[in-house]
Amino acid sequence: MGESTWDYDAIVIGAGAAGLAATHVLHDAGRSVICLEAADRIGGRSYTDTSIFGVPFDLGGHWLHYADVNSFIPIGQDLGFDLYAEPGHIHLAGSLATDGVLDRVAGVSDELHRQGDADNDMSMAEAFEPKDEVERTALLLKALSAGRDLDEISMHDWHTGALEDNNWFCRQGFGAIVTANAAGLPVKTNTPVTAVRRKADGVDVETADGTLRAGHVVVTVSVGVLASEGITFDPPLDASKQNALSLITMGVYNHAAMLFDVTALPMAPDTWVSYPIEEISGSMARGGGILCNVSGSGLCSFEHVGNFARELEDAGEEAAIDFALTRMVDVFGADIRKGFRKGHATRWGSNRFTQGAYSGTRPGGAGLRAALRSPHAEAVHFAGEAMNEGETVCISGAHKEGLRAANEVIDLLS
């Protein structure tokens, strides 16, 4: 038997940024391809909603990091979106608002890079012990960039992946770019994949709607879904991949968003607010940062990660919004409550389709992303931000991994 037994040249599993990129390349190359998505929408953690607040709200990725290399800046511009560089407004509340504090924050980053270049791979919690609220807040910024607690961050991996982080924003929402770029692609939603089975003449992909056959498969689900064995592989994933999945894991990055009357907000659009972090319990920072007046819309997003984000998820949406609103009052005063209109809190930690937000590497796992990237049983390929070594935790990194995997498939089909 040969190609005539295939339903498709390739099947892509997952319609996040990586899966959509892979589908785009295969489709444009004239290959028969279908992208299967378990959820009822595309985009994965790239998702802009306009119904909750009446203005664009990115429930997942919002920052276009690493602007010099970010794929979605030229894509968004070509599609006609309004993109702009981060204004760089920073509000340092309380005792953080002192001369030289930014130099001290930069000094913490420099010290962490020195530790990341050391021979032994340690956690960020081991690498640096903060002496005061300035250094605690500086560490919180690193936890936010990794989507996890300090003891879950590999210093070697963080040091390798920390590029010059100049950011851009999209006025219509980052997720809107990802969705628009996928227009016309062959995607089937509400179609969870349960098994991927390598056969002598191709690959069988089992779904609730039946089994499809392809020459190659590109798997782009999160490492959380892979590790939980939400998809069965036959033959099973080898020891190197299993080891990588035990050390490259999902974190949690949530937004507690608050809509205010614009006139009630005493700050310029896209102002980042850092306030004193009084406590780091073990390696968990009980706090976050706030991106205020997003694109001038009146929306403010309290961003928090790790076990603290899980705690607020467990406490419920009202508790997360109340915590965020209380921080706004701490920084700007009680009068700001008068302009508060509505809140919404994301719950990526309990999202069954992603099982978290932001992948990251635990201490001892540096260098294992290549094991995740390598093909399985010759015809099963993997892509996603967890495989990217340059733009870790970034939607652009996921996009580039999808391009890579699709081109691998095209080369093999040719």
Question: What pLDDT does 1 receive?
Answer: 37
- Tell me which of 242 and 393 has the higher pLDDT: 242
Question: What pLDDT does 133 receive?
Answer: 84
- Tell me which of 136 and 94 has the higher pLDDT: 136
Question: What pLDDT does 101 receive?
Answer: 84
If pLDDT is split at 50, 70 and 90, which confidence band does 2 have? very low
Query: What are the backbone angles phi and psi of residue 351, rounded to the nearest 5°?
Result: -75, 115
If pLDDT is split at 50, 70 and 90, which confidence band does 5 have? confident
Interval 363-369 mean pLDDT: 93
Structure tokens at 322: 């109340």
Query: What are the backbone angles phi and psi of residue 410, rounded to the nearest 5°?
Result: -60, -45
CA distance linking residue 76 with residue 83, whole number of Å: 7
Q: Please determine, for residue 185, whether its predicted confidence score (pLDDT) is greater than 60.
A: yes
Query: What are the backbone angles phi and psi of residue 92, rounded to the nearest 5°?
Result: -105, 110
- Tell me which of 1 and 207 has the higher pLDDT: 207
> Could you give the percent of the chain with pLDDT greater than 70?
97
Q: Please determine, for residue 43, whether its predicted confidence score (pLDDT) is greater than 50.
A: yes
- Alpha-carbon dihedral of residues 49, 311, 248, 169, nearest 10 degrees? 30
- Tell me which of 2 and 394 has the higher pLDDT: 394
CA distance linking residue 309 with residue 286, whole number of Å: 9
Q: For the ranges 6-20, 161-175, 365-379, which has the lowest average pLDDT?
A: 161-175
Q: Which of 227, 288, 218, 281 is nearest to 253 (CA)?
A: 288
Interval 326-339 mean pLDDT: 95
pLDDT tens column, 48-70: 999 999 999 999 999 999 999 99
Interval 342-349 mean pLDDT: 97
CA distance linking residue 92 with residue 98, whole number of Å: 8
Q: Please determine, for residue 233, whether its predicted confidence score (pLDDT) is greater than 50.
A: yes
Question: What pLDDT does 163 receive?
Answer: 62
Q: Please determine, for residue 161, whether its predicted confidence score (pLDDT) is greater than 70.
A: no
- Alpha-carbon dihedral of residues 81, 390, 17, 220, nearest 10 degrees? 180
> What is residue 327's three-state secondary structure?
helix
Q: Round the average pLDDT of the chain to a whole number and report it.
A: 93
CA distance linking residue 386 with residue 375, whole number of Å: 15
C-alpha angle 164/165/170, rounded to 5°?
140
289's enclosing H/E stretch is strand 289-292
pTM of the model: 0.95
If pLDDT is split at 50, 70 and 90, which confidence band does 307 have? very high
Q: Please determine, for residue 348, whether its predicted confidence score (pLDDT) is greater than 80.
A: yes
Interval 33-62 mean pLDDT: 98
- Please, which residues bridge with residue 248 across strands? 361
Question: What pLDDT does 116 receive?
Answer: 81
- What domains appear along the chain, each with residue ranges and CATH number? 3-43+182-249+358-413 (3.50.50.60), 87-165+252-350 (3.90.660.10)
If pLDDT is split at 50, 70 and 90, which confidence band does 4 have? low
DSSP per-residue codes, 303-317:
EEEHHHHHHHHHH-H
